[in-house]
Amino acid sequence: MSEEDEDQAPPKRPRATPPPDQVLDNVLETVLQFLAAPRDRSAASLVCRSWHRAESATRVSLAVRNILAASPARAARRFPNAHHILLKGRPRFADFNLLPPGWAGSAFRPWAAAFASAAFPALRSLSLKRITVTDDDLDLLARSLPPSFRELSFLLCDGFSSRGLASIASHCRGLRVLDVVDCEMNEEEDDEVSDWVAAFPRGHTNLESLCFDCFTPQVPFAALEALVARSPRLRRLGVNQHVTLGQLRRLMALTPHLTHLGTGAFRPGDAAEDQGLDLAQILNAFSSAGRANTLASLSGFRDLAPEYLLTIATVAAANLTTLDLSYAPVTPDQFLPFIAQCRNLETLWVLDSVRDEGLEAMASFCKKLQVLRVLPLDAHEDADELVSEVGLAAISEGCRGLRSILYFCQRMTNAAVITMSHNCPELKVFRLCIMGRLQPDHITGEPMDEGFGAIVRNCSKLTRLSTSGRLTDRAFEYIGKYGKSVRTLSVAFAGDGDLALQHLLQGCSKLEKLEIRDCPFGDAGLLSGMHHFYNMRFVWMSGCNLTLQGCKEVARRLPRMVVELVNSQPESERTDGVDILYMYRSLEGPREDVPPFVKIL
């Protein structure tokens, strides 16, 4: 495709018509605005220079999935018209304390400065995931973001406190979305906590979504109630665990059109609003004002009083598609009568306290289920077994349309996993966590190779896989041979040697994200992936058998990869091997601010 192929412009009149390539650019830009899917946009930008220009000019949603991969200046030069920006920081294994804190503490600062200097003048929304943001960053943003700025969301972020939120609340006048989810905010002295809820401007706000379920101090309820009362557009509200059931009821009375509700403690407390509270009142709160027709998602339940669980049954039966009970240790007796009414559920997160019988019941009623997470009440290798292969098999029998599952258990069998691979062909995400490391099939004593092999063989749409249990190289042979769509792979305590890693790197042609911990993989395995690393977003290998030599070799042959060696061991326990290898492609080269425990090759 080139400019020479287009038609000639019509014969000129005294007033000049724009030159042909400018016409084309205008047409292209108009057309490309309709192109939304990220991969389509990427493809379009590679066609030729004018397509590249047009696509860059019309790019509205920008996702920098590794904040270290591109500088804000570069991003702003190429995509000046970005409205929505997503930035992702730390690798996922940092969530499990594998990465020392301070690994990339100031990665966000240049972005904050860029936003403050209007590098993205059309910016409307900013989403940050696993990024350290300081109160000063937030203050800078708050004071300099354009009036068109509307949405700010933090997921798994850290480094800021109520002071930063207060800056945002008081200065971002048109704010529609403020979501702070699963963040580890800085602890503050009790008398230093800022009342950020009261910092929102007086008068009506434009708030559509307000979530602060991870905020640890108590928010003064009077201020919260007042804020909700003057936010007529509020559709999503997620409160923290200090909000009692009585207080929740008051908030619900002010917000009849909620679609998403994070319910806080879901237990009566000692507040004034809880006086005389009874089941009937809560039942009424959930079943009146057309609530059943609008409420689609419920979460929270941070301290669930089990006798109150059935009060949400009315909405559950009607319109509820998403339910997060993952902080509520519900027993089977409590769960069974409730789940029988949740026929429309598509997404469910529960604790394994519901046991196999709870999962069996769920499978028999929730026929529309697509996403399931069964999380452990007691996350230890030697915890009591609450769910098993029985639950997994039942789920596969009942929920044939399942697309995504995360299942924690103590033990598993190949047979159950094979059954699921046959019953649930729509699976895109299969994450099985057998909490006992190196556990084989507990009935046959065999490794779990055949189970995972069946998953990759039978679930052709599989894009994300997490393995566990005792696995030999054969499991990885299967994954390499059949897992042609797999993009994200997590492996822990598995395999016999380098051959396993070789199978993966040479077989999984679409692999983009690889997380490996504590496997006997060495330099030979790593080097077998040279041909593919540039196609990947990152590789994480920790607790393996890599050496400095091997990693240097990778760095030497792949100059565009940033190869970081991170040491998380204390002085006294350091060995000569590599502790953590984290490598990622980057347009910027090695970063400047590197803590002492990181070495970039």
Binders of other proteins among residues 517 to 576 (CB under 8 A) are 517-520, 522, 534, 543, 545, 555-556, 558-560, 567-571, 573, 575
Task: Name which of 27, 31, 18, 24 is nearest 3 in CA terms.
Answer: 24
Q: Which is nearer to other proteins, 93 or 365 (CB)?
A: 93
Does 478 engage in binding with other proteins (CB under 8 A)? Answer: no
Phi, psi dihedrals of residue 488, rounded to the nearest 5°: -125, 130
What DSSP designation does 449 have? H
314 versus 466: smaller Cβ distance to other proteins: 466
Assigned token pair, 14: 């005294």
The dihedral built from the CA positions of residue 394, 395, 399 and 401, taken in this order, carries a sign that is: negative
Site for other proteins in 426-445 (CB under 8 A): 433, 435, 437-438
- State which of residues 61, 284, 287, 458 lies at the interface with other proteins (CB under 8 A): 61
**Minimal distance, residue 536 CB to other proteins, in Å:** 11
In sequence order, what DSSP letters do the residues of 131-156 get, joined into one string?
-B--HHHHHHHHHHS-TT--EEEEES
User: Using the rule CB under 8 A, is 203 a contact of other proteins?
Assistant: no
Give the separation between CA 564 and CA 547, rounded to whole angstroms: 13
Nearer to other proteins, 349 or 478 (CB): 349
Minimum separation from the CB atom of position 352 to other proteins (A): 10
Taking the CA atoms of 166, 171, 173 and 179 in sequence, report the sign of the dihedral they define.
negative
Structure tokens at 207: 């708030």
578: closest CA among 586, 587, 569, 570?
569
Asked if residue 472 binds other proteins (CB under 8 A), the reply is no
Using the 8-state DSSP alphabet, how is residue 12 labeled?
P
Tell me how far, at minimum, the Cβ of 79 lies from other proteins, in Å.
Answer: 9
User: CB-wise, 19 or 589, nearer to other proteins?
Assistant: 589
Site for other proteins in 273-312 (CB under 8 A): 297, 299, 302-303, 306-307
**Would you count residue 104 as binding other proteins (CB under 8 A)?**
no
Q: What minimum distance in Å lies between the beta carbon of 209 and other proteins? A: 12
Query: How near is the Cβ of 545 to other proteins at its closest, in Å?
Result: 5
404 belongs to the binding site for other proteins (CB under 8 A): no
Question: Distance between CA 126 and CA 84 in Å, rounded?
Answer: 6
Cβ atoms of 286 and 314 closer than 8 Å: yes
Q: Tell me which stretch binds other proteins (CB under 8 A): 107-115, 197-205, 372-380, 417-425.
A: 372-380
- Contacts with other proteins in 21-60 (CB under 8 A)? 38-39, 41-42, 45-46, 59-60
Helix pair angle (38-45, 49-58), 10° resolution: 140
Q: Among residue numbers 148 through 167, which ones bind other proteins (CB under 8 A)?
A: 153, 155, 161
Q: Which is nearer to other proteins, 371 or 418 (CB)?
A: 371
Q: Which CB, 304 or 418, lies closer to other proteins?
A: 304
Q: How many residues bind other proteins (CB under 8 A)?
A: 115
Which tokens sit at 323? Answer: 């339910």
Instruction: Please report how many Cα atoms fall inside a 13 Å half-sphere around the Cα of residue 461, on the Cβ side.
Output: 11
Rounded CA-CA distance 495/345 in Å is: 37
The CA distance from 481 to 452, in Å, is: 12
- Among 229, 340, 375, 390, which residue sits at the site for other proteins (rule: CB under 8 A)? 375
Least separation in angstroms between residue 417's CB and other proteins is 18
Residue number with CB closer to other proteins (174 or 520):
520
Q: Provide the Cα torsion 45, 50, 54, 59; round to 10°.
A: 20
Interface with other proteins includes 133 (CB under 8 A)?
no
Give, as ranges, the residues between 245 and 264 that touch other proteins (CB under 8 A).
Answer: 260
